[in-house]
Structure 1
Amino acid sequence: MSGARAVAGTARPGWLWGAAAALALCAALGAWRWAGGRRRAAGGRRRPQRVGTVLSLFVYPVKSCRGVAVRRAQVTPMGLRSGELRDRFWLVTKEDGHMVTARQEPRLVVISVGCEDGHLTLDAPEMETLSLPIKLPRKNPVRNCRVFGLDIQGRDCGDEAARWITTFLKSEPCRLVHFESSMVPRKSKDIINLFRTTDEVAYPDCSPVLVLSEASLEDLNSRLEKKVKMENFRPNIFVADCGAFEEDTWEDILIGDVEMKGTVCCARCILTTVDPDTGVLDRKEPLDTLKSYRLCDPSERHIYKSSPLFGRYFAVDKTGTIQVGDPVYRMVQ
């Protein structure tokens, strides 16, 4: 895999997180003890090696809409959760059920999402706030949807939500649907074969968790005339205190009491060229620059084709809670 290794971003003051790091290491050792037999059988005892620090956490409740920064999140088998907000559990669709993302409607990225008193709220420029119950009435129909060629259901959020989104986008009629826990998720393996049969998602592209490092973003920005933001890439976990693209090499990692397994890198598309502040689609940068130095090894073209790589997808082995400031460990021999 190509990509220069860069010096890590500005280090965070150690005294701020020193005590937390010590406690987290104790938790790390304890969390991995439960699986010691399995891992010894797989090739000997391993130990946690610190490789970074959680700088930011994000949940993206509505696919392609603005993320919600949180200090603390639950990591579930199907992604991050903060209170009643779950990662990409809401989806904008056409009336025929096909997904609508910022690839087709770039202005989706400027819609802000929140949660108040059991209601999902949407805000956008020159629009009144939309508020709709997270627990939808059973009379609302369940719709058949299509996400990257795979079938999945969603309960319709109602005509008011449909009118609000259609009015803001100035588009053909759109609907908003919500994935409920009783519905059947999509199998990540049906999208990319390197996932396991147990890895499942609602409306994310393919993976429950996306990790990106601050140093990787700084490396990219050092090559761009116009700098881009972390928001262009929509990670769930933004990591500091590591080198550029080190996240590509992480296999089994531990954050708080959560265990995750690296699967594949994130192949990037034109969505990265949408300005997160204006919703304007550029179609060129930063994608062209990423293509100049972040293409995969030729042996992996059957996975990534001609898409540049930026960030890494992770599946969830053990659920739990993570928070900003947590050390990130990888397991080494």
Structure 2
Amino acid sequence: MGAAASSAWNRLGVPSLRLPERPRPAWLGVAAAGLAAVALGTVLWRRARPRRRRRLQQVGTVAELCIYPVKSCKGVSVSQAECTALGLRSGHLRDRFWLVVDETGNMVTARQEPRLVLISLTCGGESLTLSATCMKDLSLPIKTPTTNAVFKCRVHGLEIEGRDCGEAAAQWITSFLKTQPYRLVHFEPHMQPRRPHQLKDVFRPTEQIAYSDVSPLLVLSEASLADLNTRLEKQVKAANFRPNIVISGCGVYAEDLWNELLIGDVELKRVMACSRCILTTVDPDTGVMSRKEPLDTLKSYRLGNPSERKLHGKSPLFGQYFVLENPGTIKVGDAVYLLSQ
């Protein structure tokens, strides 16, 4: 067999044919090479064929998209967003790319400082604006000066960097919370992300997050929220649960059964349910933590399977964590399809 044909067969995992060492007609070599080329072409054609199209079943519609620029602070509702491996993005606003830290670099969330939920960060022109009731708006440059220090921070026990946003931002947040000195840091694209696999082994080792708890995307349905509210004396909002994508037009807790979704050209894969903590008891309008509802009610009917206790602990489950399979743009009003074989 000719060298080219033999190499092609070897690449495909097929052993070379060994012929006796004896003179052979020229036409035999040509024929063997021709057969190898035909076989190679057939295999490559089979490999190049697109995968069988999967069936699409519409399961809902995108009702809301929300980005939370500063972890635990107010969300920004957007009409469309780029879906990236690190979460939603709209212009210069990235989901959980800013973080409040204490003087030792530990993350500070509404679990410790409930009034964080009253702070908003918005973007306009070349500046970012911090806003809160009874505080004068503070404008910050979109690009944090490279002369600012880079801190080593900790989010759920994992180290991650953040560039300090400066004294003005630190004083503004400290003055608003009135408890202890805090600083604001920003995650920059060149910094090393955290790996959710180190927190929950159901995530792939390749998945990445910035300052999010454990996943870049959280999906919740309007139907699930409505069902919860029928069980509560005081209604709660989606903002209590801080989802990125809210879906309408589906059944109650339908999101628990969605493994792969297609929204526009974006493909998402479900990883696990979201375990709920005391942060859900913070009223997003007042910044007051009740420490009871809706968490107590969720515990009465949304506890996970005992076999998954290691994954979820004793926390109730509400909403689902997804990761990105194929990037693109999502818009409010987009149809949400369930992908099936």
Alignment TM-score > 0.5, same fold? yes
What is residue 155 of structure 1 aligned with on the other side? 163
1:298 is displaced (CA, Å) by 1.0
Per-residue Cα deviation, 1:1-45 (whole angstroms, up to 9, x for no partner): xxxxxxxxxxxxxxxxxxxxxxxxxxxxxxxxxx996865xxxx5
Map 1:178-327 → 2, pairs under 5 A:
178-327=186-335
What is residue 69 of structure 1 aligned with on the other side? 77
1:137 is displaced (CA, Å) by 0.9
Provide the rounded CA distance (Å) in 2 between the counterparts of 1:165 and 1:38. 53
- Give the structure with higher Rg (CA): 2
Provide the rounded CA distance (Å) in 1 between the counterparts of 2:208 and 2:51. 24
1:108 to 111, 116, 121: 116
Per-residue Cα deviation, 1:153-203 (whole angstroms, up to 9, x for no partner): 000000110000000000210000000011000001111110111210000
Provide the rounded CA distance (Å) in 1 between the counterparts of 2:304 and 2:265. 32
What is residue 146 of structure 1 aligned with on the other side? 154
Provide the rounded CA distance (Å) in 1 between the counterparts of 2:199 and 2:328. 26
Per-residue Cα deviation, 1:253-299 (whole angstroms, up to 9, x for no partner): 11011011000000000000000000000000000000000000111
Count of aligned pairs between the two proteins: 295
2:134 to 122, 126, 140: 126
Provide the rounded CA distance (Å) in 2 between the counterparts of 1:107 and 1:284. 17
Provide the rounded CA distance (Å) in 2 between the counterparts of 1:117 and 1:166. 26
What is residue 7 of structure 1 aligned with on the other side? none
Does the 8 Å CA contact 1:46/1:331 hold for their aligned counterparts?
yes
Does the 8 Å CA contact 1:254/1:329 hold for their aligned counterparts?
yes
Does the 8 Å CA contact 1:252/1:262 hold for their aligned counterparts?
yes
Provide the rounded CA distance (Å) in 2 between the counterparts of 1:39 and 1:186. 33
1:118 is displaced (CA, Å) by 2.2
Provide the rounded CA distance (Å) in 1 between the counterparts of 2:301 and 2:49. 41
Letter in 1 for 2:74: R
What is residue 28 of structure 1 aligned with on the other side? none
Letter in 1 for 2:101: T
1:75 is displaced (CA, Å) by 0.2
Whether 1:86 aligns to 2:111 is no
Whether 1:49 aligns to 2:20 is no
Identity of aligned residues (%): 62
1:113 is displaced (CA, Å) by 1.8
Q: Secondary structure at the match of 1:200?
A: coil
Q: 1:164 to 1:156 in 2, by over 3 A?
A: same
1:226 is displaced (CA, Å) by 0.6
Q: Secondary structure at the match of 1:186?
A: coil
Letter in 1 for 2:249: D
Q: Which runs of 5+ in 2 are unaligned?
A: 1-46
Provide the rounded CA distance (Å) in 2 between the counterparts of 1:36 and 1:254. 23
Q: Which runs of 5+ in 1 are unaligned?
A: 1-34
More divergent stretch after superposition (320-329 vs 118-127) = 118-127
Does the 8 Å CA contact 1:211/1:237 hold for their aligned counterparts?
yes
Provide the rounded CA distance (Å) in 2 between the counterparts of 1:132 and 1:55. 31
Provide the rounded CA distance (Å) in 1 between the counterparts of 2:210 and 2:169. 20
Provide the rounded CA distance (Å) in 2 between the counterparts of 1:36 and 1:165. 56
The structure showing larger relative contact order (alpha-carbon pairs under 8 Å, at least 6 residues apart) is 1
Does the 8 Å CA contact 1:84/1:118 hold for their aligned counterparts?
no
Q: What's the TM-score, normalizing by structure 2?
A: 0.85
1:46 is displaced (CA, Å) by 2.3
Q: Secondary structure at the match of 1:264?
A: strand
Q: What's the TM-score, normalizing by structure 1?
A: 0.87
Letter in 1 for 2:113: E
Q: Secondary structure at the match of 2:262?
A: strand
